[in-house]
Amino acid sequence: MLQTLREHFGFDALRAGQEPVIRALLDGRPALAVFPTGGGKSLCYQLPALLLDGLTLVISPLIALMKDQVDALTAKGVAAARLDSTLGADELRGLYEKLETGAIKLLYIAPERLANEAFRKRVKQLDIAMVAIDEAHCISEWGHNFRPDYLKLAKFCRSLKITRVLALTATATPKVAREIRRHFRIAAADHIQLSFHRPNLDLRVTPCEAAERKAILLDRLALIDGAAVVYVTRQETAEEVATFLAKQGVSARAYHAGLPDDFRAGAQSAFMAGETRVIVATIAFGMGIDKADIRGVIHYNLPKSLENHTQEIGRAGRDGLPAVCEMLACGDDLTVLENFIYSDTPSPRALGNLIDRVLRLGDTFDVSVYDLSVTCDIRTSVISTLLAYLETDGILEATGSFYGNYRLKLLRGTEQLLAGLAKNHRSFTAKLLEHGKPGRAWLGFEPTALAHELGVPRAKIVATLGALEAAGDAVLSLSGVRQGYRMKKDPGKLHDLADHYAQIFQRREQADLARLNQVLGIASHRGCLTGYLTKHFGESLPSPCGHCDRCRGLPANPIKRPAARKPTDGEWRSACALVRENHGELATPRQLARFLCGMSSPASTRARLGRHAAFGMFSDLPFADVLAMAEAL
């Protein structure tokens, strides 16, 4: 073991916690590693992957993270690869050939890959030695950052009779850890958890008013000698704060999911290289960021949970040198954060409509999550969660994802193109081209519908279109991802099923609100702030940390929620006028309330109602109050 460790990773010894995890895996048992950010989780599966015969599957949530891990491993001489949507056809073929010959030791995939039936069948033919699941807290419905596809992982491992499973996370509360252990049948003795106490992190909480927050931020950054990350809630806040800092002479750039890919990549590269000192970012920034010398992490807005807070401050001071982690605790943030939570919860009526649409499609069917989202006016993340529930409850089984829309741009004349084909392909290709819907420069095809119309397998249509591109006769553009399913059992009364899932979503809403309240608790906590955080993760410090605001003698100062204002007469008239406009996308009180609070929905976004003067008019009001108003209008 130590020889392999030295040869491939350049270490002479393992770090704390790594050996018991690795021993459990080598002995064939599943394990859970709860290590703080930067605690050395990756080595816990990378080293045993080299010591075991067979392939190690690594489930990772981000393509960028997978790429970084694979690049680092291949540089060390480890046979690692990733399977993701960026691979071309030739790369894919080469990858599968290597997998079949056993030339790859670690394969990184996203959890969504397991929804592909063809991939599941192919994996069953491989010698799988181990499965490593990064960000394993995503499996828990009651933890932060829940991802529905993680729910299917335990069933997948059992179907392949894989017992050697490693679940990894930096942010699992005792409740979430128990849930992970239950899913993967991990013994308590094989749950290895390191301390969340980072002695070099100086924790601070500064309650403040919204009007003074920028000035405080500027002062704090002037005291930080080195790189800093400023976390905000909204994309527009990231732009606003980064612009403010730049005008004040601070080297700062914004980073959020709404930026073009090249802008985001440029901002990240400049920060990593030290060309930009401060990155102002939403939670889109951070996972996989391995910059050791970050000297400060400042939460300009309140984080959604203590888990998010802990994960984000964990990016500071990875070199072991002192770093400042400060929360600018402003009560004005509460309304926005709570409204985000409420806006994610589907109404029972919308949920019933969704279930009715999906479960009346027949024994075998396919759906577009995007189309369902717009039709039922429910966020795509919620629809994906419901479909995952239907799978884990044994009602549906995923058969694979595919593109619903194909566009073909011919590079040669039809007669010339057909003349170059073999006789047995010429007739069908001609018929297929006749059924293409003509556009300005492209022919449009919907292979599933065409398969029924022409009485041929869908695969034949797709293969024919692909062959034209492969021969250089055309350019192919694919869009509209669809997911196939088959019904596994009778779902029973759909109304009862909808009520059941509506209750689950309501409980999740309450759990999210409770997590936000735990964030408020840190400001009013009279004891050690580090102890408050570690207790949340099931760890009791033997004594106060000595390096936080409370240990320095600064008193607790609870976050004050601003008094709710009343709508003006003009706002009432605007809201009434909006109702009289009879927008179908705002037909229910909940739809109207979300819109007035500035929370876009799939239907209102498609209708481009975000430009309406009334959008976000009540963004500073509690959602419950706005919903009551919407019900009265």
Query: How big is the CA angle at 509 (ends 508 and 515), to the nearest 5 degrees?
Result: 90
User: Could you tell me if 580 and 444 lie in one domain?
Assistant: no
The count of other CB atoms within 10 Å of the CB of residue 257 is 12
DSSP 106-134: EEEE-GGGGG-HHHHHHHHTS-EEEEEET
User: Shortest CA distance to 381 belongs to which of 146, 88, 632?
Assistant: 146
3-state SS, 18-34, equals HHHHHHHHHCCCCEEEE
Question: Checking DSSP bridges between strand 323-329 and strand 252-255, what pairing results, if any?
Answer: unpaired
The sign of the dihedral angle between the CA atoms of 302, 305, 308, 309 is positive
Separation of alpha carbons 490 and 510, rounded Å: 30
Q: Where are the strands (E) in 84-236, listed by range?
A: 106-109, 128-133, 165-169, 191-193, 201-207, 227-231
Mean pLDDT by 10 residues, the chain (633 residues): 79 88 96 87 93 94 80 90 80 86 92 77 89 91 73 87 93 91 95 94 94 96 96 93 97 92 89 95 76 95 93 91 96 89 86 95 92 91 91 89 88 86 87 92 92 91 88 86 92 95 92 92 94 94 95 92 88 94 91 90 89 91 91 89
Single residue among 314, 331, 348 that ends a domain in this structure: 331
User: Could you tell me if 208 and 153 lie in one domain?
Assistant: no
User: Is position 341 within any domain?
Assistant: no
Separation of alpha carbons 336 and 622, rounded Å: 8
Single residue among 316, 331, 346 that ends a domain in this structure: 331
In this predicted structure, what is the pLDDT of residue 232?
95
- CATH label of the domain that carries residue 318: 3.40.50.300
Separation of alpha carbons 234 and 237, rounded Å: 5
User: Could you tell me if 249 and 318 lie in one domain?
Assistant: yes
Query: Domain range holding 294?
Result: 201-331
pTM to 2 decimal places:
0.82
The total domain count for the chain is 4
One-letter amino acid for residue 464 of the chain = T
- CATH label of the domain that carries residue 406: 1.10.10
Separation of alpha carbons 498 and 352, rounded Å: 5
Environment class of 580 (CB within 10 Å of its CB; exposed 0-12, middle 13-18, buried 19+): exposed
User: Could you tell me if 157 and 13 lie in one domain?
Assistant: yes
User: Is position 302 within any domain?
Assistant: yes
User: Shortest CA distance to 188 belongs to which of 180, 197, 200?
Assistant: 180
